[in-house]
Structure 1
Amino acid sequence: MEYLQIRKATTKDLGTVQLIGRETFFETFADSNTEEDMKKYLEDSFNDDQLSVELSNPDSLFYIAWEDESPVGYLKLNKGNAQTETLDEMALEIERIYVKTSHHGKKVGQLLYEKALEVAQQQHNSYLWLGVWEKNPRAIKFYEKNGFKAFDKHIFKMGNDEQVDIMMKKEL
């Protein structure tokens, strides 16, 4: 890996977020889901209108990991009403840490996680939380290694398929 930098994304980065989001989600989950559900999820979650709303939301923060001038992953954080579950004002949600398969094992996910931790500390959050698919042991192991513990479950809608996410949190 040459030079890795984490930069805050704005609405001007919509195309980059869209590209890396679609690519990394497909790489990670296409083999475990139907083509129909994957197509529906990618269209619903990464279309221009949806991403424009998300990038414009003051309660959501996006950070892109760049290797030189190539985007290799991104982080999405939510506070307040932007959280996918209503927890409390002291919570910061990691909604997405997406890293290109070509960069797995190269500490990109760790650097994005450390950015989330830095933001949570700057905002004086009490804890970080996230939902991770119960059938994604690699991600579960990553979060456990970083001090997260399971505390509940919720449903994640993947196209027309309802999947179970393990909700995990880390006290700060």
Structure 2
Amino acid sequence: MAEFTLRRCVSGDEPMLSLVGGASFLEAFADVLDGPDILAHFHKNHSVQAYSKYLAPAENRIYVAEVAPGAAPVGYIVCTAPDFPIETTAEDYELRRIYLLHRFQGCGIGKALMDQAIASGRELGYKRLLLGVYGKNYGAIRFYEKAGFTQIGERFFTVGATTHHDAVMARSL
């Protein structure tokens, strides 16, 4: 297992989040999405400005996983108010992103990030944690099921000019 720490992100971490977000998105979907779609998605969703908006609300929680030596960032979570085309309540919280570079998967960092998302939701008094996942990302779906999530709905997610099917999953907190 890689030696790592989790740290809550603060203002100034936006460039690091942008780098890790873009790298992990490219790594996960380079063989699924067209290059122009990946670039459009990056500029819209992984810009420094996008992460500034995530860091602003007090109820949002962003944690980064850093590996030794040197505390290099390899993954992160973003938890925020839910944004889904399904009925949600004030007791719902969304794990908007859980990204981890591929070479660090399977060594406990992903589980630690998930545990932190669950703890953050509980700490804030939420009762249910939601997430969306690309419907053909079977490895991620298995990881979420192992963490207690079940599918409760679906949505369509546009990346660049292409629309994809996502599963909406939830677990009790």
TM-score range, shorter chain: over 0.9
Distance 2:72 2:106 in 1: 17
1:104-119 maps to which residues of 2 (within 5 A)? 104-119=105-120
Equivalent position of 2:35 in the other structure: 35
- Change in Cα spacing, 1:48 to 1:148, as seen in structure 2 (3 Å) is same
Equivalent position of 1:66 in the other structure: 66
Distance 1:116 1:45 in 2: 20
Distance 1:144 1:60 in 2: 24
Code of the residue aligned with 1:137 in structure 2: it is: Y
1:123-162 maps to which residues of 2 (within 5 A)? 123-162=124-163
Distance 1:28 1:2 in 2: 21
- Extract unaligned runs of 5+ from structure 1: none
Distance 1:151 1:135 in 2: 16
What is the total number of aligned residue pairs between the two structures? 169
Equivalent position of 2:122 in the other structure: 121
RMSD of Structure 2 on Structure 1 (CA): 1.3
2:18 matches 1:11: no
Equivalent position of 1:76 in the other structure: 78
Q: Percent identity?
A: 27
**What is the CA deviation profile of residues 3-37 of structure 1, one whole-angstrom value per residue up to 9, with x for unaligned ones?**
21110001210111011001111100111000111
Q: TM-score, normalised by structure 1?
A: 0.93
What is the CA-CA distance between 1:59 and the residue it aligns to?
Answer: 3.5
Q: TM-score, normalised by structure 2?
A: 0.93
Equivalent position of 1:46 in the other structure: 46
- Extract unaligned runs of 5+ from structure 2: none
Dislocated runs of 4+, deviation >4 Å: none
